[in-house]
Amino acid sequence: MEDGLQRFSLSGRCALITGGSRGIGRAVALAMAAAGAKVAVCARHLDACEAVAAEITARGGQAIAIAGNVGRAEDAVAIIDGAVDGLGALDILVNNAATNPHFGPLVDAEDAAVDRIFQVNVQGPLRLVGAAVRAWMGEHGGSIINMASVGGISPEPMIGAYNASKAALINLTRTLAHELGASGIRVNAIAPGLVETDFARVLIETPAIHDQIVGQTALHRHGQPDEVAGAAVFLACDAASYITGSVLVVDGGWTA
């Protein structure tokens, strides 16, 4: 009889994680490597990616580092080709990198900030999916995981353009699931709540904001990056073989 836990393994799989050098992406890279995957860690700063790759290697895993800016059209193919060439395949793509240069009322958001948010958080993931399908997944299948946010489902004030980008990411996750399902490619999103990273530092370190969020959260605390990573490993593995087009909320019950 097949060992039931085999379906939770990523052994022999090759995964690319954008924004893998710190925060949630780093935790996903470490968790996928621990589950047996060969991992490509991508972010703009190569040294930070190399540090995570070295951490994985020191733990007995296999990892490479790739420098790239997901907000630049010219980087998309290079990032995907770097992963396919360096790993030998690309079974898992985690679109995790994101940005939010605007904090304040939505009507005050500058065009340049909104453009940047949509370039990095929406167009970037979409370009990487296209490049991944053309380079590998279209022929071999795969699992794509888009890191959205509960803000894309139930938006809070002050980060409206970012929330709109995450709503767009969730929407295109569903369309891609329909369009790519016949090629054996599953496409899902994860919607984290408040997680302790550099990205969320202002929210966590501003007591008025933090207390309000934690007060509405069933578990009465914010999350840690490795509490999101397990959801990514699950969606990537064969145990999730009939899950596509879904949004897995990982928010401690904030939106429950």
Ligand X SMILES: NC(=O)c1ccc[n+]([C@@H]2O[C@H](COP(=O)([O-])OP(=O)(O)OC[C@H]3O[C@@H](n4cnc5c(N)ncnc54)[C@H](OP(=O)(O)O)[C@@H]3O)[C@@H](O)[C@H]2O)c1
Check residue 123 for interaction with ligand X (CB under 6 A).
Answer: no
Check residue 170 for interaction with ligand X (CB under 6 A).
Answer: no
Identity at 165, one-letter amino acid code: S
Q: Examine the residue annotation and report whether 162 is marked as an active-site residue of this protein.
A: yes
Check residue 160 for interaction with ligand X (CB under 6 A).
Answer: no
Cβ of residue 136: shortest distance to ligand X, in angstroms? 20
Cβ of residue 251: shortest distance to ligand X, in angstroms? 8
Check residue 22 for interaction with ligand X (CB under 6 A).
Answer: yes
Cβ of residue 23: shortest distance to ligand X, in angstroms? 2
Q: Is 256 helix (H, G, I), strand (E, B) or coil?
A: coil
Alpha helices in the chain (DSSP H): 23-34, 46-58, 73-87, 111-118, 124-132, 138-140, 160-180, 201-205, 207-216, 226-236
Here's the x/- map for ligand X, 79-98, by CB under 6 A: it reads as -----------------xxx
The backbone torsions φ and ψ at residue 147, rounded to the nearest 5 degrees and listed phi first, read -85, 100
Token pair 């395949």 in the structure block, residue:
89
Check residue 134 for interaction with ligand X (CB under 6 A).
Answer: no
Interacting positions 180-209 with ligand X (CB under 6 A):
192, 194-195, 197-200
Check residue 69 for interaction with ligand X (CB under 6 A).
Answer: yes
Residue in 83, 109, 148, 162 annotated catalytic: 162
Pick 27 or 237: Cβ nearer ligand X: 27
Q: Do 20 and 215 form a contact (C-beta atoms < 8 A)?
A: no
Which two structure tokens, joined as six digits, stand for 31? 């968790």
Identity at 254, one-letter amino acid code: W
Q: Is 188 helix (H, G, I), strand (E, B) or coil?
A: strand
14, 19, 47: which is closest to 33 by C-alpha? Answer: 14
Check residue 149 for interaction with ligand X (CB under 6 A).
Answer: yes
> For ligand X, which residue of 37, 40, 61, 71 counts as binding (CB under 6 A)?
71
Total binding residues toward ligand X, as defined by CB under 6 A: 28
3-state secondary structure 58-81: HCCCEEEEEECCCCCHHHHHHHHH
Pick 103 or 138: Cβ nearer ligand X: 103
CA 121 to chain centre: 10
Stretch that binds ligand X, among 6-14, 44-52, 81-89, 213-221 (CB under 6 A): 44-52
DSSP single-letter state for residue 104: B
Check residue 18 for interaction with ligand X (CB under 6 A).
Answer: yes
Active site residues: 162
Kindly list the residues in this chain that would bind ligand X in the complex (CB under 6 A): 18-19, 21-25, 43-45, 48, 69-71, 96-99, 120, 147, 149, 192, 194-195, 197-200
